[in-house]
Amino acid sequence: MKLSQMPYEHIDLDKVKAFFEQLIADSKNAASDEEQFELHKKYYEFMGDVSTNIRLGRFRHDIDTSEEFYSKENEYIDEIGPVISNLNNEYSKVLFESPYRAYLEEKISKVAFKNIELANKSIDEKILPLMQEENALISKYDKLIASAKIPFNGEELNISLLRKYLTDKDRDTRKRAWKALSEYFLSVTDQIDDIYDQLVKNRTKQAKKLGYDNYVELGYNRMMRNAYRRAEVENFRKQVKESFVPFVVKIQQERKEQIGVEELKYYDNDMFFKDGNPAPTGTPEEIMKAGQQMYAELSPETKEFFDFMIENELFDVLGRKTKKAGGYMDFLPKYKSPIIFANFNGTSGDVDVITHECGHAFQGYVTRNDEITEHNNLTMETAEIHSMSMEYFTYGWMDRFFGDRSQDYLKMHLQDSITFIPYGCMVDEFQHIVYDNPDMTPAERKNVWKELEKTYRPWLDFDGDPFFSEGGFWQKQGHIFWQPFYYIDYVLASVVAMEFKVWMDKDFNEAWKHYLQLCNLSAKDFYENELAEAGLESPFKADTVKNLVEELKKKI
């Protein structure tokens, strides 16, 4: 069915409550394992409809935030969301304590039950007021960032409009743009420090009330870290320091020559070429057309997927004034359809929608007939493998998007992806230090970041900038505020995607076959088991990172 024709239904919360009440009672009284699983299937169907309406309502609001009906629906969904989560949680406890647990684990997966355990350790009625306060603090940060009015070239720009000047091919322009950004952050840095200080203290209080020593362990549980914990992550970061950092230092040397400067400054950081970073050559329609041809040639599975997306008009990618910023993929269980939201703006980011977001959507599409909903409760380090690997699997088609600058694009993509690895680890280590020491002052936190910069990005020269050189950079990284310890996921996924890159360069078909296998595994098994099954090395294993860097060196 076409996205525009999918009927939307206002969710009747009383009906939802009544459904769960009945379901919980029936489940507690189930007379056999099969009976309990049959009841669980009713839950799939009911929640499939509910979440389809929630996602459709949000999507229609996002594509036109000025539209009245869906604005109201969106507010309503904000309101009922926590209530429905709570009902879900209550029901999951019944499953967890079921006498037929072994049978259910077999049917649904051990992973799902581990997740229920972690979820139950993460929430309790007594911390609800703190959680509400936490949400309010996050919104306060978001509003502050979104409402930025930055004077530049006689105009007042928000951060997203300023962004294109940060990578302007004219060095003086981008220097002024970074200066303007720095001045903005300097003007609000005390406010951001205050918000973050409250967030750290709030989260620490939540952890203590739940019986944890500090927030780190609780943060891991909230991220559904069901297969690895702090020790593994620490070991991974150590490997990155040893292997990736010296490699990235060399790449920076090369980038310096590419952009033709004597000394690399922070305002050169996202620049890759003297004549500017490559941008797609075609119109949005041409980009979509090229995408369709590309997926038709890549594999029968991707052809079927992309044709389905086009035929059912499941993309909304053109930038419009009243559209929400950003881009994402979602999935509508009732119609077994992925949907993609984006704002094309003429940069290489438009092509990321066709590669990265479509990688997520493709995975949703290949597992769309799996009746066990829990199989698709992907944790982020896994979900991002699907998308980031697709960026590499589509390398061979980039001339369709970037014309004669396709080689530049590929070089930029690889250099950028590699350079990201130490940065992502730095964001992660920073947060561990912060939540281990919740009583640090804002100045001490900035010092921590400043020190980490020396370890993870020793090449970066902030040129004495009063905001960036004083350990302020993290204040523009939203994830640090939204969801602690969410960020290393991108790094872990990126490492595995690079493994695929190395593999496909040796044997494209073999690599593709295993990629498909990994997509089909969804979240049926634990992270490292799935990697092993798909023939990939776990990033936590000794030497994985080192060996990967050796392989990548041959490509740069």
What does the binding site for Zn ion look like in residue numbers (CB under 5 A)?
A: 387
Question: In the complex, what is the shortest distance from the CB of residue 314 to Zn ion, in angstroms, rounded to a whole number?
Answer: 17
Residues 447 and 282: their CA atoms lie apart, in Å, by 45
Q: Are 460 and 263 in contact (CB under 8 A)?
A: no
Nearer to Zn ion, 98 or 387 (CB): 387
Structure tokens given for 193 = 């420090």
Nearer to Zn ion, 52 or 387 (CB): 387
Question: In the complex, what is the shortest distance from the CB of residue 427 to Zn ion, in angstroms, rounded to a whole number?
Answer: 16
Question: In the complex, what is the shortest distance from the CB of residue 329 to Zn ion, in angstroms, rounded to a whole number?
Answer: 8
Closest CA to 527 of 117, 222, 229: 229
Question: In the complex, what is the shortest distance from the CB of residue 338 to Zn ion, in angstroms, rounded to a whole number?
Answer: 13
Strand partners, 152: 155
Nearer to Zn ion, 189 or 387 (CB): 387
Nearer to Zn ion, 277 or 382 (CB): 382
Question: In the complex, what is the shortest distance from the CB of residue 404 to Zn ion, in angstroms, rounded to a whole number?
Answer: 29
Nearer to Zn ion, 255 or 479 (CB): 479
Question: In the complex, what is the shortest distance from the CB of residue 206 to Zn ion, in angstroms, rounded to a whole number?
Answer: 28
Please tell me what DSSP assigns to residue 221.
Answer: H
Question: In the complex, what is the shortest distance from the CB of residue 384 to Zn ion, in angstroms, rounded to a whole number?
Answer: 5
Residues 531 and 538: their CA atoms lie apart, in Å, by 6
Q: Are 226 and 112 in contact (CB under 8 A)?
A: no
Three-state secondary structure string covering 400-441: HHHHHHHHHHHHHHHHHHHHHHHHHHHHHHHHHHHHHCCCCC
Question: In the complex, what is the shortest distance from the CB of residue 362 to Zn ion, in angstroms, rounded to a whole number?
Answer: 12
Question: In the complex, what is the shortest distance from the CB of residue 380 to Zn ion, in angstroms, rounded to a whole number?
Answer: 8
Structure tokens given for 381 = 């380090």
Nearer to Zn ion, 157 or 366 (CB): 366
Nearer to Zn ion, 376 or 455 (CB): 376
Nearer to Zn ion, 176 or 324 (CB): 324
HSE-up of residue 64 (Cα within 13 Å, Cβ side):
6
Q: 3-state class of 328 per DSSP?
A: strand
Nearer to Zn ion, 343 or 387 (CB): 387
Question: In the complex, what is the shortest distance from the CB of residue 360 to Zn ion, in angstroms, rounded to a whole number?
Answer: 6
Cβ atoms < 10 Å from Cβ of 246? 11
Structure tokens given for 341 = 């939201």
Residues 231 and 225: their CA atoms lie apart, in Å, by 12
Structure tokens given for 414 = 């690889």
What string of DSSP letters covers 120-181? HTT--GGGHHHHHHHHHHHHHHHHHHHT--EEETTEEE-HHHHHHHHT-SSHHHHHHHHHHH
- CA torsion 355→245→544→477, rounded to 10°? -50
Nearer to Zn ion, 359 or 472 (CB): 359
In this chain, which residue has its C-beta nearest to Zn ion? 387
